[in-house]
Amino acid sequence: MTAVAPETSHPAIGRLRAALAEVADLVHAESVLDWDSRVSMPHAGAASRAEASATVGRLAHERFVSDEIGHLLEELGGVEPELDPDSDDAALIRVTRREWKRDRRVPGELAGEMRRANGLAVAAWDEAKAASDFAAFAPHLERQLELKQRYIDCFDTADAPYDILLQDYEEGMTTARVAEVFAELKAGLVPLIERLRDEAVDDDFLAGPFPVAGQKAASARILDTFGFSREGWRLDETPHPFASNPGLGDVRLTTHYVADDLNSLFSTMHEFGHGVYEWGVASELARTPLGTGTSSAVHESQSRTWENLVGRSDGFWRWFYPQLREFFPEALRSVGREAFVRGINRVRPSLIRIDADEVTYGLHIILRFELEQELLAGRLAVAAVPESWNARVSDYLGVDVPDDAHGVLQDMHWGIGLFGYFPTYQLGNVISVQIWERAVAELGDVEEQFAQGEFGVLREWLREHVYRHGRKFPPGELVRRITGSDLDAAPYLRYLREKFGSE
């Protein structure tokens, strides 16, 4: 059962595709092992699963950085100039070469070590967070930083260390450019927050109660209308929602229902955005390194599109609010649609990133971006992180952190070795609006469509312009192709000011 490979001009490309398909199959297995461990695995299976994941991950790594693939890339070096640079083959060679060169520098032993450390640290993080005990997590954070340092040491010292990490998630992005964009955002956001922080918006009704059965039905209704089908999708429950795509035709979302808020709806729409991106990648790219979203930031741009640009829009709620009220007649009886939309868009500095509103969210990211750089540069000691965290939250958001569970321990990212990842969240916000402006310019009044329960037009536009390309184009180039411009914070700031500034 071999993949249906598009016609190829050179036999070496066929061989490269076959070798990469094997790697993709192992990554598929790894993805199912991971999904299962978070959704369905009995608790006692964790240790055995960690071993299986480590082995499959290591084999995928070894197969990918093999001499065989190196020789094929070398052989194809001569063919490359003759290829249409926009062709799948040219992109396949380019992306494979970039990753092969990068991954080849990382010894299998270190890759395995990092994987194992992640397993241990995330378990420790879970407990430390529950007990709000940073000291219990600190040794794991030390270990993660040490491994990151060893990882960085595998690369040219000429590069800024943080660049190396950042570019694992965002090809072509530099720390300097992120700093520039974030500075611009900070300058725009801080006064906006100052203006909005004391505005009286009633959102008491968002405390529910919202019975979970109703939330499930509401989530299902939204997803079905967005384009979810049982043929190719699943929706499950996990404490930390995520999206996963083990293979073509198999998109898996998770969400989390809590009776005293409606966050599950937004988390479901967020994960739908990640899922629909993977769903929309052209099927010809499956089982190749091109068969997934192009970068973390562009991925996040799509989750934020469906969560915020769609899911917190007036048009969306013109369609859905009457239905939501039927699901929760008690909690929402006396709440009108406009009050509801104001409530879910209330701007208020708060402690937890994932619950933050669209305006203050950026500052949560900026402070993490700053702390990560300081940690990696050795300018900040692990023991001093909570203090530094709390000071910065107070400085940027004007709120006091009562304990580390609501502070430095709130996110699992550092526990699973993700450094350089946080900035992509905020870049995603920025990109989401750049793409959105282009979509609206072509599609007209999309909110009017939403009000009719019509989301297919937007989804298909995004598929055509963003999703189907997979990783054929690096993120910067993709954004340029779609929007005609480079990464640019201005549309995002304009959007926030228009939506929040003039009320």
Partner 1 sequence: MTTDPKLDQLKGHLGEVDDLRKAATLLFWDQRVMMPPGGAQARAEALATVGRMTHERFVADDIGQLLDHLRDFEQSADPDSDDASLVRVARRDFEKASRVPPSLTGEMRRASALALSAWGPAKENADYKALLPHLEENLELRHRYVECFEPGDETYDVLLDDYEPGMKTAEVREIFDGLKQELLPLVREIGESGDVDDSFLRGAFDQEAQREFAHEVVRAFGFTDEEWRLDTTAHPFMTSPGHGDIRLTTNYRPDDLTSIFASMHEFGHGVYEWGVAPELQRTPLGSGVSLGVHESQSRTWENLVGRSRAFWRHFYPKLQARFPQLGPVEEEAFFRAVNRVHPSLIRIDADEITYNMHIILRFELEQELIENRLSLTDLPEAWNARMDEYLGVEVPNDRQGVLQDMHWAGGSLGYFPTYSLGNVISVQVWERMKQDVTDVDAQIEQGEFGELREWFREHLYVLGRKYTPQETIEKVTGSKIDSGPYVRYLREKLAPQPA
Which residues are catalytically annotated? 271
Answer yes or no: are the C-beta atoms of 352 and 363 closer than 8 Å.
Answer: no
Answer yes or no: are the C-beta atoms of 397 and 350 closer than 8 Å.
Answer: yes
Q: Which is nearer to partner 1, 24 or 178 (CB)?
A: 24
Instruction: Count the residues of the shown chain that bind partner 1, applying the rule CB under 8 A.
Output: 41
Which one of the spans 75-83, 178-186, 243-251, 337-345 is the region binding partner 1 (CB under 8 A)? 243-251
- Residue of the chain from 227, 246, 407, 476 that contacts partner 1 (CB under 8 A): 246
Q: Judged by CB under 8 A, does residue 249 bind partner 1?
A: yes
Those residues whose C-beta lies under 8 Å from the C-beta of residue 233, and which sit 6 or more positions away, are 223, 251, 252, 253, 275, 279
Q: Which is nearer to partner 1, 231 or 498 (CB)?
A: 231
Binding mask 282-321 for partner 1 (x = CB under 8 A): ----xx----------------------------------
Determine the Cα–Cα distance for residues 495 and 412; give it in Å rounded to an integer: 30
Cβ-based neighbour number of residue 380 at 10 Å? 18
Answer yes or no: are the C-beta atoms of 343 and 263 closer than 8 Å.
Answer: no
Q: Is the sign of the CA dihedral 424, 373, 401, 141 positive or negative?
A: positive
Q: Judged by CB under 8 A, does residue 369 bind partner 1?
A: no
Using CA atoms, how far residue 480 sits from 261, 293, 475, 485, 492, in Å, is 39, 16, 9, 5, 16
Those residues whose C-beta lies under 8 Å from the C-beta of residue 463, and which sit 6 or more positions away, are 276, 280
Q: Judged by CB under 8 A, does residue 152 bind partner 1?
A: no
Which one of the spans 41-49, 403-411, 417-425, 441-449 is the region binding partner 1 (CB under 8 A)? 41-49
Strand positions, DSSP E, 196-249: 233-237, 243-247
Q: Judged by CB under 8 A, does residue 251 bind partner 1?
A: yes
Q: Which is nearer to partner 1, 233 or 319 (CB)?
A: 233
- Residue of the chain from 10, 25, 138, 342 that contacts partner 1 (CB under 8 A): 25
Q: Judged by CB under 8 A, does residue 1 bind partner 1?
A: yes
State in angstroms the smallest separation of the CB of 22 from partner 1: 5
Which one of the spans 49-57, 151-159, 197-205, 408-416 is the region binding partner 1 (CB under 8 A)? 49-57
Q: Which is nearer to partner 1, 121 or 286 (CB)?
A: 286
Q: Which is nearer to partner 1, 15 or 337 (CB)?
A: 15
Q: Judged by CB under 8 A, does residue 250 bind partner 1?
A: yes
Q: Judged by CB under 8 A, does residue 109 bind partner 1?
A: no
Q: Judged by CB under 8 A, does residue 14 bind partner 1?
A: no
Q: Which two tokens stand for residue 206?
A: 């968002």
- Residue of the chain from 32, 154, 179, 416 that contacts partner 1 (CB under 8 A): 32
Q: Judged by CB under 8 A, does residue 124 bind partner 1?
A: no
Q: Judged by CB under 8 A, does residue 226 bind partner 1?
A: no
Determine the Cα–Cα distance for residues 300 and 309; give it in Å rounded to an integer: 12
Strand positions, DSSP E, 243-288: 243-247, 250-255
Q: Judged by CB under 8 A, does residue 119 bind partner 1?
A: no
Q: Judged by CB under 8 A, does residue 18 bind partner 1?
A: no
How big is the chain by its Cα radius of gyration, in Å? 23
Cβ-based neighbour number of residue 224 at 10 Å? 12
Side-by-side strand order, sheet with 233-237: 233-237, 250-255, 243-247
Q: Judged by CB under 8 A, does residue 333 bind partner 1?
A: no
**Ramachandran angles phi, psi of 235, nearest 5°:** -135, 120
- Residue of the chain from 231, 333, 334, 378 that contacts partner 1 (CB under 8 A): 231
Percentages helix, strand, coil for the chain, rounded to the nearest 5? 65, 5, 30
Binding mask 414-453 for partner 1 (x = CB under 8 A): ----------------------------------------
Q: Which two tokens stand for residue 130?
A: 């529950």
- Residue of the chain from 12, 17, 28, 407 that contacts partner 1 (CB under 8 A): 28
Binding site for partner 1 (CB under 8 A): 1-3, 21-22, 25-26, 28-29, 32-33, 36, 40-49, 51-52, 54-56, 59, 230-234, 246-251, 286-287
